[in-house]
Amino acid sequence: MPADSKTRKWLDRVERLGNALPDPVFIFLGLIALLVAVSVAAALFGWSAVNPMTGETLVAKSLLSEDNVGKLLTAMPDTMAHFPPLGLILVVMLGAAVAERSGLFSALMTRAMRNVPNRLLSPAIFLIGLLSHQAADAAYVVLIPLAAIVFAAAGRHPLAGIAIAYAGISGAFAANLLPGQFDVLMLGITKSATQLLVPDHMLNPLGNWWFTATLGILLIPITWYVNDRIVEPRLGAWTSPQFDADRTETTDAHGEAKGLRRAGVAALVIVLLFAALTLWPGYTPLINSDAAGPARLEPFYASLVAGFMLLFLVCSWAYGAAVGSVRSHRDVVKMMTEGLATMTPFLVISFFAAHFIAMFAWSNLGPVMAINGADWLRAQQLATPVMLILLLMMSSVFDLVIGSASAKWSAMAPIVVPMLMLLGVSPEMTTAAYRMGDSIFNIVTPVASNFVLVLVLAQRWRQDFGVGSLIAMMLPFSIAIGLTGLCLIGLWTSFDIPVGPGAPATYAVTTR
C-alpha cells in the first residue's frame, strides 16, 4: 500500500464522503430509525434461531412492541448510565484532568522524548497499545490522549499519535502478547461449545497464545509503516502555538525534578497499595479465590480503572504541590471540573449511542443474525483454510453492527466450533480466526462504543475533525491488519502450526 498520490486521493474521497454525513448524533438517530424498521419486519416475518447451547428459540422482537416502548421510556436514565465507556471515562478523567493541568503529563512526555528517537514513536506506542489489552477499556482514555501529547511534544502530528494508539488498542485486539482476561473469557465460551460435541473436552485458557503473540509481533512493523508512510504524511505538518503555550512551564529544572521525584514516590505508594490488595495473605479483595488460573485475576483487571484514576490524581497533586501549579485542594477540584467540562460533546453523543446499542440488544437481532450466519457457514463444505477465512470475514461483517465480541461469540460458537471440530479444526484455531475477524473493523465502524470517544479526543486537536476524517485516518490500518490476518490464518492452517500451548491447529475428533 504505497503512500502515493492515488492513495491520498482515495482517502481524501473517503473523508469527504464521511464528513458529508450528518453530525454523529443524527447518525445514531438514523441508525435507531433503521433498527426499529428492521426489528418490526423481522418480528412480522417470525425471524428466529435456536440457541444450540440452551435449546432456547430466540425470536426477533419488534422495538415498537408494548414492552420495548415501555422499556425505552422508563429506563432511559439507566440506559444512559450503563453505556460501557461512560463511567470509565468520567472516572479516569477525574485524575487525568489534574495530571494534564498540573503540568505532570507535559513534564513526563517532554522528558520521555529525550530518550525515545522520534522515528521509533509509532512502534513504541503501538506496542504499549498491545500490552494495554490487559487494562480493558481504560486504555482508551489513558493511552490515546497521551499518545497525542507525545507526538505533539516531538513536533509530529498529534492525530497520528491517536491513530497508532487506537490501532494498537482496538484494531489489533486479536493480538495479545501476554494472555489476559479476554483470552479466558473467549476460550471459556469456546469450551462450553466444544462440550456439546465432546462432553469431557478440556481447553487451555492460553490456547490462542502462539497465534496472538505472532500476530502482535508481525503487526508492529506493518502498522509502523502505515502510520509513518501513509497516515501521518496525509495529515500534514503540525504547528500549534496553543500546544506550546499549554506546555510552557513556569518552574525551573530543579523544581520540575523535585516534582517528578515526589510524583514517583506517590506512584510507588499506589502500586504497593494495589499489590497489597492483591497479594496480602488472608486479605485479597482483588483476587477471585473461587476461580482457577488466570480468571483469579479478573477483579484486579477490573480495578485498573480506579487504579489509573488514583495514580493520576495522587501523582499530579504531589507534582503540582512541588512546582506550584497546585496550591490547595481547591485547585485540584477546579482542575477536575475543567477536565470534565471538555467531555460535554462526548456526553451528548453517548446518550444516543447508548440507546442504539441497548435497543439492538432488546430486539434480539444480534444473536439471531449471528446464529443464522453461522448456520449458513456450516452448510458450505469447503477446505479448512477457506472455512476459517469465511468465518473471519463473517465475524468482521458482524463487527460493523454488533460491538460486543463475547456476545457474538456466545451466539456463534455453539454452531461454528462443533462444526469445524468435525472437519478437523481445533477449537482454539476456530477461536483465533473469529477473534481476528472481530478486530478488523473495530476502528472504522461508528457504532463501536469507543469510536465516539476517539472522535471527541481527536476534535480536541482539530475541531473540524469529523466521522469521515476518523474513518479515513484509520482505514489504512484496517486494511493492513485484515490482510495480515487473512494471510496468517491461511499459513497457520496450511502448515498446521500449534495455536497455543497444547493446542494444535487441526486434529481428528471422535464423538462419543
Per-residue pLDDT 10s for the chain (512 aa) are 445 667 777 777 776 776 776 777 887 788 899 989 999 999 999 999 886 656 778 899 999 999 999 999 999 999 998 876 678 778 878 888 898 788 887 777 667 656 778 889 999 999 988 887 755 566 777 788 888 988 988 889 999 999 999 999 888 888 888 776 677 778 877 887 777 666 777 777 778 889 999 999 999 999 999 999 999 998 888 876 554 434 444 446 778 889 999 999 999 999 999 999 999 988 999 998 887 766 687 788 778 778 888 998 999 999 999 998 999 999 999 999 988 887 787 788 788 878 887 888 898 887 787 677 767 766 777 777 888 888 888 888 877 766 667 667 766 777 788 777 777 788 889 999 999 988 888 898 877 778 888 998 899 898 888 888 899 999 999 999 999 998 999 888 888 889 988 778 776 544 33
Whole-angstrom distance, CA of residue 467 vs CA of residue 483: 24
| Rg, the chain, Cα only | 24
Whole-angstrom distance, CA of residue 27 vs CA of residue 467: 10
Looking at the domain assignment, is residue 511 inside a domain?
Answer: no
pLDDT computed for residue 103 by the predictor: 83
Closest CA to 231 of 240, 239, 222, 218: 222
Looking at the domain assignment, is residue 509 inside a domain?
Answer: no
Looking at the domain assignment, is residue 510 inside a domain?
Answer: no
Q: What is the 3-state secondary structure (H, E, C) of 234-287?
A: HHCCCCCHHHHHHCCCCCCHHHHHHHHHHHHHHHHHHHHHHHHHHHCCCCCCCC
Task: Tell me the torsion sign for CA atoms 165, 169, 171, 172.
Answer: positive
The 8 Å CB, 24+ separation contacts for 236-245 are: 236/157, 237/157, 238/151, 238/152, 238/155, 238/156, 238/157, 238/158, 240/152, 240/461, 243/152, 243/158
Whole-angstrom distance, CA of residue 105 vs CA of residue 103: 6
Domain holding 66, by residue range, is 5-494
CB 468 within 8 A of CB 14: yes
| Residue found under cell 485479597 | 284
Question: Quick one: cell of 183?
Answer: 483470552
Overall pTM > 0.75: no
Angle (deg, nearest 10), helices 384-399 and 405-422: 160
| Residue found under cell 435497543 | 359
pLDDT computed for residue 280 by the predictor: 92
CB 149 within 8 A of CB 457: no
Q: Both ends of the chain: CA-CA distance in Å?
A: 50
| Residue found under cell 462443533 | 418
DSSP class of residue 57?
Answer: E
Residue 79 main-chain phi, psi, to 5 deg:
-60, -45
Domain count, the chain: 1
Residue 122: which residues within 8 A CB-CB, separation 6 or more? 160, 164, 223, 224, 227, 228
Whole-angstrom distance, CA of residue 352 vs CA of residue 28: 6
pLDDT computed for residue 357 by the predictor: 76
Task: Tell me the torsion sign for CA atoms 143, 144, 149, 151.
Answer: positive
